[in-house]
Amino acid sequence: MDSAHVESDLVNVLFTEAQILERIGELAEEIERDYAGKELLIVGILRGAVMVMADMARAFTRHVEMDWMAVSSYGSGTKSSGVVRILKDLDTDISGRHVVVVDEIIDTGLTLSWLTSNLSSRSPASVEICTLLRKPEALQMPVDVKYVGWDIPNEFVVGYGLDYRERYRNLRDIGTLAPHVYS
């Protein structure tokens, strides 16, 4: 879906599909350099990271193994409950493995902080984080993020995997959602 299809729902487009793909390619190159000669497992956080993972995997020029986790800290509301639940765990044993967790956005950092602690307890060789977007103003928990696409303002963004009530995930661009949509 193009942003023109939902133009009245967006305040503005922050990043176009072309900009996103270029930045993901740069992140993939950086990760490849850092893990040269090492086996790598990238772990996507469902559902939002699907687009990032797919495009990042295609940007790699080497073999990369992928796995997925689904975690929730929201319950039925739109604010984090602070309690993290694993809805889908890894299928892969990560002991001794180099793991890069891939997410589409870091907001409060609460879920990702818990998740990296959980994964670190499984004896991996390393655990790093890659996110397409990060909201520094929204962070409530410090999270060490090695690979960041862009830092953005603390605004409600949708597209490229980011949703509002399961809508806009398939928007090719990333844009700021207009308040009239969620008010």
How do the domains of the chain map onto residue ranges? 17-155
For the stretch 106-159, pLDDT in tens is 998 988 999 999 999 999 999 999 999 999 998 888 899 999 999 999 999 999
- So what's the pLDDT on residue 156? 94
Q: Find, among 67, 125, 122, 54, the residue nearest to 96 by Cα.
A: 125
- Range of 67-76, 80-89, 135-144 with top mean pLDDT: 135-144
Q: pTM of the full predicted structure? A: 0.92
How confident is residue 81, by pLDDT bands cut at 50, 70 and 90? low
- Choose, from 89, 107, 144, 163, the residue flagged as catalytic: 107
Q: Give the Cα separation of 27 and 18 in Å (integer).
A: 14
Q: What CATH class has 17-155?
A: alpha beta
Give the pair of three-digit tokens for residue 152: 């953005």
Q: Is 173 a catalytic residue?
A: no
